[in-house]
Amino acid sequence: MLEISDLHVDVDGKEILSGINLTVKPGETHAIMGPNGSGKSTLSHVIAGREGYTVSQGEIVFNGKSLVDLEPEERAGEGVFLAFQYPIEIAGVNNVYMLKAALNGIRNYRGEKELTSVEFLKLVKSKVKAVGLDESLLNRQVNSGFSGGEKKRNEIFQLSVLEPMLAVLDETDSGLDIDALKAVSDGVNKLRDASRSFMVITHYQRLLDYIVPDYVHVLAKGKIIKTGDKELARTLESKGYDWLTDGQESAA
Amino acid sequence: MTNSLQALLQKLPEPNSDTGDWLERLRSDALKIISSRDYPSTKEESWKYTSLHDLRKNDYLIADERNTGALLKKPYSRDDFLEADKLHLVFINGFFQPNLSTDELLENGIKIRPTKTKKADEKCNLETILKADLSETFSALNILTLCDSLLIEVEKNRKIEKVIKLILIGESSEPLLKSLRIIVKMNENSHARVVEEYRSHDKDAGLTNVVTNLRLGQNSTLFHHRLQMESMNTTHIGKIDAQVDSGASLYSDSIVMGSKLSRVDIDVSLSGRAAYCRLNGLFTGINDQHIDHHTTIRHLVGETHSDELYRGILDDNSRGIFNGKVVVSADAQKISARQASNNLLLSKLAEIDTKPELEIYADDVKCAHGATVGQLDETALFYLRSRGLSYKDARALLIYAFAEKVIESIPLPALRQLLENKFLGHNQMSEFIQQG
């Protein structure tokens, strides 16, 4: 589904990613871990197509199609979704309106018929319970005045409505208390199936207790330095990253 | 050499001050005042940013009833203007069109009357009202070249349920000067909502010069929405002069999207204890539009309050001006005045000049003002695009979001929807908001 090969990315003329190789198959969940400044968020943004992230070398191929030259909305149309670490507050814009515009944007891109408001509201009502979103949040302004937990739940709610093939979750656990973390993880787990893939970017192993990954990758200084299964995350939790980045095992 | 204002005045018949008609007398006074003047120049402080160069160049024809016939569009019918729960009054090229307007002009408790009759109206004291701003060039010109005027008087203790909507259309193939006068008199404890909607044919290149006098008696409430959507070739000069008596509240919005050059002056006097005004404004400029608002709020007595919020959105080479003056008289203690001017520049060549002006002569007051100038938030734009919105839709949505603060304060759903449409096309956000 997603094939990243020898990906080099510059931000403001500085190389942040230095040769990433990563393959995500349908239905798989990959966790990306690593210390601050290792390039985790850059990876998520470059997949979603944020301006200012320049691919100087390498490829990002999604279902056989290169994403590198596509606009963010075209990538959404292809089936890519990025859950933001800090979801943007847009006062003055109704949450459901924004989401309808998004879904119809994607449907337009795919040459599908736009949903009417009635059809859309029906869809929304069916999804809202699945992620445990308080229905009153629907008609509020986009993320405006939402608590940290509500914002993240709103991201997952958007994910459930837009039904991407690949969802990149950028530090979705940051700023969440344990109840919110469980609720958000439940929402994500309900959306996991044999065809949808997830890339979960996180600092902490805690999230991976709830969203159990198939693979764990450790990113450091712009490169994947180690790949393992969920046990690798536990090792990192107890040992930290130093034993990997220093190239030597600690005496634990 | 005669200047362009004098050249225009020479087209007028001499006012006849001997008839004893007070309006003729007023015209004669007006002529005395401006007979030696020219249009305001950028050397005057209040016209510093707004050049009337184009207006000077134009050889305007003064509208009279004959040239209302020179229409660009097929004839209208009353049905073109019908809206539920509204009393509508249509003016074309400066003149009232009874055939196109609501026929129930005399509802319970409301007097709506084109003031064609030039007799003094003792009860309403029109002469005093019209005299008030004669010293200003455009107000004097307004009296001198007046087409029709309209008096709306709301009876004491009446709440008018229907919205009174004035539709003022410019439709001439010639460069026509249309001078209009609107007077709204709210008697004690009355309540009304008035919309002034200015439109014009795409090809209209006229000059609109309109003065609105609002008189709010004790404890009355007036919602007043001024919507200017004339064609991009017109010049629009507007003036609102308001007096708000004790316990009365004025909510007045100025929304400007049209005209090549638009200048609106708003002057509100809060003259009785607990008088309140809220002045909101929203303007959008594209191409080389020039949109100027000068507002003055006078706190003449203590315990009066005002709120003011202006939002400007400027694209291409357009330019906006907001000058917000607040004057607090020496004895006007315990007043509050809040002012905010927020502006969004969508292009490198767009420009906004925003200036608060506070003149405070009392010491126990709460005055706050703030001005901001910003651009579209790139992160928000990326957020929306990453969700699937096209660049165009994402941009439109963020611009709407900026305007929304003014739009949401308008208590008329039909007007809110019209503005929403202007920003978002036909995808209505309100259908979701109403569900909630």
In a domain, B95, yes or no: yes
Distance CA B318, CA B130 (A): 34
In a domain, B408, yes or no: yes
Which residues of chain B are within 8 Å of residue A44 when distances are taken between CB atoms? none
CA distance A211 to chain B (A): 23
- pLDDT tens, B198-250? 999 888 899 999 999 999 999 999 999 999 999 999 999 999 999 999 999 99
Domain boundary among B217, B240, B272: B272
Same domain assignment for residues B262 and B385: no
Q: Determine whether the interchain pair A138/B436 forms a contact, defined as Cβ–Cβ distance below 8 Å.
A: yes
* Number of domains chain B contains: 2
Closest CA to A80 of A192, A151, A184, A159: A159
Which residues of chain B are within 8 Å of residue A140 when distances are taken between CB atoms? 436
β-partners of residue B89 are B166
Closest CA to A80 of A65, A98, A95, A100: A65
Distance CA A35, CA A229 (A): 18
Predicted confidence at residue B69, as pLDDT, reads 57
Picking from A50, A73, A75, the nearest residue to B389 by CB comes out as: A73
Predicted confidence at residue B17, as pLDDT, reads 65
Six-digit token string for B349: 């060549």
Angle at B224 between CA B154 and CA B428, to 5 degrees: 130
The model's pTM is: 0.92
Is B18 a residue whose pLDDT tops 90?
no
In a domain, B200, yes or no: yes
Closest residue in chain A to residue B436, using alpha carbons only? A139
Picking from B379, B388, B397, the nearest residue to A93 by CB comes out as: B397
Q: Determine whether the interchain pair A73/B397 forms a contact, defined as Cβ–Cβ distance below 8 Å.
A: no
Q: Determine whether the interchain pair B431/A117 forms a contact, defined as Cβ–Cβ distance below 8 Å.
A: yes
* Whole-number Cα distances in Å, A25 to A30, A197, B52, B150: 10, 7, 67, 73
Contact (Cβ atoms closer than 8 angstroms) between residue B213 and residue B142:
no
Closest residue in chain A to residue B425, using alpha carbons only? A101
In a domain, B315, yes or no: no
Picking from A88, A108, A139, the nearest residue to B383 by CB comes out as: A88
Q: Phi and psi of A248, rounded to 5°?
A: -145, 145
Six-digit token string for B67: 């040239």
Which residues of chain B are within 8 Å of residue A49 when distances are taken between CB atoms? 385-386
pLDDT band at A252 (very low <50, low <70, confident <90, very high): very low
- pLDDT tens, B297-329? 999 999 999 999 999 999 999 999 999 999 999
Percent helix, strand, coil in chain B, to 5, is 25, 40, 35
Which residues of chain A are within 8 Å of residue B386 when distances are taken between CB atoms? 48-50, 72-73, 75-76, 81-82
β-partners of residue B153 are B111, B185
The one-letter amino acid code at A226 reads: K
- pLDDT tens, A168-207? 999 998 888 888 899 889 989 999 999 999 999 998 888 9
Is B411 a residue whose pLDDT tops 70?
yes
In a domain, B323, yes or no: no
Lowest mean pLDDT among A171-175, B49-53, B119-123, B283-287: B119-123
In a domain, B360, yes or no: no
Percent helix, strand, coil in chain A, to 5, is 40, 30, 35
CA distance A93 to chain B (A): 6
Q: Determine whether the interchain pair B388/A158 forms a contact, defined as Cβ–Cβ distance below 8 Å.
A: no
Helical H runs in chain A? 40-48, 72-78, 95-109, 117-130, 148-162, 178-191, 206-210, 230-239, 242-245
CA distance A101 to chain B (A): 6
Same domain assignment for residues B42 and B170: yes
Task: Please enumerate in sequence order all residues whose Cβ is within 8 A of that of B77, keeping only pairs 6 or more positions apart, or say none.
Answer: B100
Compute the count of residue pairs across chains A and B with CB atoms less than 8 Å apart.
Answer: 104
- Round the average pLDDT of chain A to a whole number and report it: 91
Contact (Cβ atoms closer than 8 angstroms) between residue A195 and residue A164:
no
Task: Give the domain extent around B100.
Answer: 4-272
Predicted confidence at residue B258, as pLDDT, reads 95
Q: Does the CB of B392 have a partner CB in chain A at under 8 Å? A: no
Lowest mean pLDDT among A28-42, B72-86, B273-287: B72-86
In a domain, B324, yes or no: no
Q: Determine whether the interchain pair B389/A136 forms a contact, defined as Cβ–Cβ distance below 8 Å.
A: no
Strand order in the sheet with B365-374: B95-96, B86-92, B163-170, B191-200, B221-229, B249-256, B276-285, B305-314, B335-345, B365-374
Rg over CA atoms, chain A: 18
Q: Does the CB of B108 have a partner CB in chain A at under 8 Å? A: no
| Mean pLDDT computed over B46-63 | 91
Picking from A51, A138, A162, the nearest residue to B378 by CB comes out as: A51
Closest CA to A226 of A39, A93, A33, A37: A33
The one-letter amino acid code at B370 reads: G
Predicted confidence at residue B24, as pLDDT, reads 82
| Mean pLDDT computed over B93-100 | 89
Picking from B386, B397, B431, the nearest residue to A101 by CB comes out as: B397
Distance CA B10, CA B26 (A): 18
In a domain, B133, yes or no: yes
Q: Determine whether the interchain pair B405/A92 forms a contact, defined as Cβ–Cβ distance below 8 Å.
A: yes
Q: Phi and psi of A242, rounded to 5°?
A: -60, -40
| Mean pLDDT computed over A55-78 | 97
Domain boundary among B272, B302, B327: B272
- Round the average pLDDT of chain B to a whole number and report it: 90
- pLDDT tens, A108-127? 999 999 999 999 999 998 88
Distance CA B257, CA B259 (A): 7
Q: Determine whether the interchain pair A139/B397 forms a contact, defined as Cβ–Cβ distance below 8 Å.
A: no
Distance CA B168, CA B95 (A): 9
Predicted confidence at residue B58, as pLDDT, reads 86
Domain boundary among B272, B302, B330: B272
**Mutation target among B311, B378, B379, B385 for the A interface, most CBs of A within 10 A:** B385
